[in-house]
Amino acid sequence: MNQPCKYHPATEALWFCRHDGLFLCQQCVDGREDNLVEARCLLCNQDVEATGQSGGGPLWQQLERCLRLPFTPVLLPVLLVWGLVAALIPPVPELLALTLLGGVPAFGFGQAIMAARTHPRRGRAVVAVPGWDALSSGLGWKGALLQAAPALLVLLLAGALMLFFSVPVGLVVGALLLLLVPALWLAIQVQGAEPGSYAAAPTYLVSVPRDYAVAAGLASVGGLLVGAVLLVAVDVMPSPLVQSLGGVLAAVWWLSLAALCGEMLGRHGRLWGINTGSARVTTPLAARRQNVQLCAGRYDKVLLSTAKIVKTKKATVADWQRLDRLLQVLGREDERRANAEPYLDALVSAENWSAARQLIAEQQQRQPQWLPGDPGLRWVLARGLYDLDPKLVVNLLKEMHERHPEFSELGNAYLLLARTLAEKFGLAGKAEQYLRFVESHCRDARLRQQVAEYRAAWGA
Ligand SMILES: [Zn+2]
Ligand SMILES: [Zn+2]
């Protein structure tokens, strides 16, 4: 790992904020995961830079290694196959396209070379050269063919232009179109073996321009050189030999370019969303922003945004808890006290009775005898706390008729109070007082029925 995220030490940083001087991971920036060149810092809201992934010097220093790769013993047969197949095709212009068939092993190996850097196996050093077994699995063939298709189209087009129109035009058109081939290969490799992946190619063109220039240069100049060598050879060698040479050179070009693209995947894979080593970002942006601000000690900012959130309907218990904790950390006890009732309301809406009970207890430590003022809140609380804290239920409901005589649920509240007294504390006599109150003040037949049932049950 190059540089860990400042706030997620186990995750590699993909971004650097120049303003704050921080290395940050994808969790800690505001940016879409498929956008690899743009994101903003969650602290200062300014653009962050993508961090380069690996050292190992500039990419062009790897050119020599990539150009030597096709001549390793495992890959030599790939060159021979293309050379042999190309030699066997009759030297008729219309049939020359068939020489491309000899490249099939090269397509497969090219894909395997890139795949080895796309998904390096754990605990193994970078695999430079895959074996023939990499081709037998058949898994990579779809990708290999999708990568081969655009490159072959370019080669065919350039060849046809050279043969039937003019040699310079064919060379120039071929060289220009070949500039795009590495981007298309990378797109298939990173986005998956689907034709739709081609659309992502511009990303790889622009996200690491310097390294891409090296790959595009190898693709284009390499292609031009092969063309030039063949143009010279055609005057001094018999046709089958020229075609064979063309096959071998094409294989060398193909495999070296694949090796260079593999090197790019190894260097920038994390930037492109592969091998990120971390889970996808699933936490909502607002929560991630708060987390970063908390880590950076910007409590006032978090407090501001949290206070804004709890005023909305979307506020969750977690938001209220955060606000309460922040106020506690910052020692703003007055605000904490003022927020107790709406916080309690949120806990009641979430039916989090134990937390509600805890909050009342804390509030009573600061302010003995404190209870929420709103009779509706008291009534809902009392219902929820019936089993958990009967003593608190009694405190919440007693004397309600004196303070809130107009409260619409008064009858029900006193029935609950009577039931608590009788069933939780065995105070049937005291309960009877409240039953009488309900009887004399409430005309609702259902309530009176309930009074009768309670009396029968408690034998009063
Ligand atoms: Zn992070
Ligand atoms: Zn910043």
Q: Where are the domains of the chain?
A: 59-268
- Residues whose CB is less than 8 angstroms from the CB of residue 98 and which lie 6 or more positions away in sequence, other chains included: 89
How is residue 372 written in tokens?
């929420």
Ligand 1 centre to CA of 24 (Å) is 5
**CA-based Rg of the chain, rounded to a whole angstrom?**
37
Ligand 2 centre to CA of 53 (Å) is 20
What is the number of the ligand closest to the CA of 8?
Answer: 1
For 59, which DSSP code?
G
Ligand 1 centre to CA of 292 (Å) is 8
Which run of H or E residues covers position 342?
helix 333-349
Residues with CB under 5 A from ligand 1 (ion): 5, 7-8, 25, 27-28
377 in Cβ contact with 344 (< 8 Å): yes
- Residues whose CB is less than 8 angstroms from the CB of residue 110 and which lie 6 or more positions away in sequence, other chains included: 144, 147, 148, 185, 254, 255, 257, 258
pLDDT at 137: 62
How is residue 202 written in tokens?
């511009």
Helix, strand or coil, per DSSP, at residue 271: coil
Sheet holding 15-17, edge to edge: 22-24, 15-17, 49-50
Ligand 1 centre to CA of 9 (Å) is 8
Ligand 1 centre to CA of 127 (Å) is 30
What is the number of the ligand closest to the CA of 18?
Answer: 2
Separation of alpha carbons 230 and 239, rounded Å:
10
Q: What are the strands, taking DSSP E only, across 139-272?
A: none
Strand pairing report for 29-30 and 40-41: antiparallel
Ligand 1 centre to CA of 36 (Å) is 16
What is the number of the ligand closest to the CA of 49?
Answer: 2
Helix, strand or coil, per DSSP, at residue 10: coil
- Residues whose CB is less than 8 angstroms from the CB of residue 121 and which lie 6 or more positions away in sequence, other chains included: 127
Ligand 1 centre to CA of 362 (Å) is 35
405 in Cβ contact with 375 (< 8 Å): no
Low-confidence residues in the chain, pLDDT < 70: 1-2, 33-37, 52-56, 119-129, 133-134, 136-139, 270, 275-279, 460
Which run of H or E residues covers position 359?
helix 353-366
Separation of alpha carbons 202 and 194, rounded Å:
16
The length of the chain is 460
Give one word for 164, left, alpha or beta, with left for phi > 0 and alpha for psi -120 to 50.
alpha
Separation of alpha carbons 460 and 458, rounded Å:
5
pLDDT at 139: 65
pLDDT at 56: 60
384 in Cβ contact with 352 (< 8 Å): no
Residues with CB under 5 A from ligand 2 (ion): 17, 19-20, 41, 43-44
What is the number of the ligand closest to the CA of 6?
Answer: 1
How is residue 231 written in tokens?
């143009």
**CA of 359: how far to CAs of 47, 175, 309, in Å?**
42, 73, 20
How is residue 362 written in tokens?
């804390």
How is residue 115 written in tokens?
């795949």
Separation of alpha carbons 423 and 69, rounded Å:
86
- Amino acid identity of 191? Q
Ligand 2 centre to CA of 284 (Å) is 19
- Amino acid identity of 127? V
Ligand 1 centre to CA of 142 (Å) is 36
- Amino acid identity of 3? Q
Ligand 2 centre to CA of 16 (Å) is 8
What is the number of the ligand closest to the CA of 40?
Answer: 2
pLDDT at 125: 44
Helix, strand or coil, per DSSP, at residue 50: strand
pLDDT at 124: 42
Cα angle vertex 65, ends 59, 71, to 5°?
Answer: 145
pLDDT at 120: 57
User: Chain-centre distance of CA 193, in angstroms?
Assistant: 21
